[in-house]
Amino acid sequence: MGQYVAPIRDMQFVLHELLKVEDELKALPKHAEIDADIINQVLEEGGKFTSEVLFPLNHSGDREGCKHDAATSTVTTPKGFKEAYKQYVEGGWAALACDPEYGGQGLPVVMNNSFYEMLNSANQAWTMYPGLSHGAYECLKEHGTDEQKKVYLPKLVSGEWTGTMCLTEPHCGTDLGMLRSKAVPQADGSWLITGNKIFISAGEHDMAENILHLVLARVPDAPEGSKGISLFLVPKYLPTADGGIGERNPIFCGAIEEKMGIHGNSTCQMNLDGAKGWIIGQPNKGLNAMFVFMNAARLGVGMQSLGLTEVAYQNALIYAKDRIQMRSLTGPKAPDKPADPIIVHPDVRRMLLTGKAYAEGARAFTSYVALQIDRELNHPDEDVRKEAADEVALLTPIIKAFITDNAWIATSEAMQVYGGHGYISEWGMEQYVRDARINLIYEGTNTVQSLDLLGRKILGDNGAKLRKFGEKIKSYVEENGLDEKMSEFITPLGELGDKVTKLTMEIGMKAFQNADEVGAAAVPYLRVVGHLVYSYFFARMAQIALEKEDSGDTFYKSKLATARFYFARLQPETATLIRQARSGSANLMALDADLF
Alpha-carbon gap, residue 461 to 459, rounded angstroms: 5
CB atoms within 10 A of CB 5: 14
- 338, 324 in Cβ contact below 8 A? yes
List of residues 6+ apart from 271 with CB closer than 8 A: 196, 197, 251, 252, 253, 254
| 468 and 554 in a common domain | yes
pLDDT value of position 188: 96
Q: What is the CATH number of the domain that holds 230?
A: 2.40.110.20
Domain boundary among 284, 313, 333: 284
| 54 and 172 in a common domain | no
Burial class (CB in 10 A: 0-12, 13-18, 19+), 1: exposed
Q: What pTM value is reported for the model? A: 0.97
pLDDT tens column, 15-69:
999 999 999 999 999 999 999 999 999 999 999 999 999 999 999 999 999 999 9
Q: Does residue 314 form part of some domain? A: no
Domain boundary among 111, 143, 175: 143
342 phi and psi angles, rounded to 5 deg: -65, -10
Q: What is the CATH number of the domain that holds 74?
A: 1.10.540.10
For the chain, what's the residue count?
A: 596
List of residues 6+ apart from 453 with CB closer than 8 A: 394, 397, 398, 401, 522, 525, 526, 529
pLDDT tens column, 420-463:
999 999 999 999 999 999 999 999 999 999 999 999 999 999 99
| 114 and 85 in a common domain | yes
Alpha-carbon gap, residue 271 to 286, rounded angstroms: 20
Q: How far apart are the first and last CA of the chain?
A: 44
Q: Does residue 430 form part of some domain? A: no
String of DSSP letters for 151-196: HHHHHHHHTSEEEEEE--BTTBSS-GGG---EEEE-TTS-EEEEEE
Alpha-carbon gap, residue 328 to 216, rounded angstroms: 59
Q: Does residue 91 form part of some domain? A: yes
Q: Does residue 396 form part of some domain? A: no
- 418, 427 in Cβ contact below 8 A? yes
| 181 and 120 in a common domain | no
Alpha-carbon gap, residue 175 to 193, rounded angstroms: 20
445 phi and psi angles, rounded to 5 deg: -55, 165
Angle, CA of 17, 295 and 440, to the nearest 5°: 85
133: domain range? 8-143
| 60 and 21 in a common domain | yes
Burial class (CB in 10 A: 0-12, 13-18, 19+), 351: buried
233 phi and psi angles, rounded to 5 deg: -100, 115
Q: Does residue 407 form part of some domain? A: no
| 238 and 114 in a common domain | no
pLDDT value of position 176: 81
Domain boundary among 256, 284, 312: 284
Please identify every stretch of the chain with a pLDDT value under 70, giving residue numbers as ranges: none
| 179 and 66 in a common domain | no
pLDDT value of position 267: 97
The one catalytic residue in 443, 478, 506, 549 is 443
| Bridge pairing between strands 230-235 and 267-280 | antiparallel
Q: Is 360 a catalytic residue?
A: no
| 136 and 12 in a common domain | yes
279 phi and psi angles, rounded to 5 deg: -70, 140
Q: Does residue 170 form part of some domain? A: yes
| 509 residue type, one letter | M
pLDDT value of position 173: 78
| 72 and 119 in a common domain | yes
Angle between helices 573-582 and 516-547 (to 10 degrees): 160
Alpha-carbon gap, residue 521 to 577, rounded angstroms: 9
| 471 residue type, one letter | E
| 237 and 170 in a common domain | yes
Q: Does residue 152 form part of some domain? A: no
Q: Does residue 188 form part of some domain? A: yes
List of residues 6+ apart from 579 with CB closer than 8 A: none
| 81 residue type, one letter | F
- 557, 549 in Cβ contact below 8 A? yes
| 193 and 138 in a common domain | no
* Total count of domains within the chain: 3
DSSP category for residue 91: T
Alpha carbon of 63 to those of 57, 256, 590, 595: distances in Å?
10, 16, 46, 43
| 73 and 188 in a common domain | no
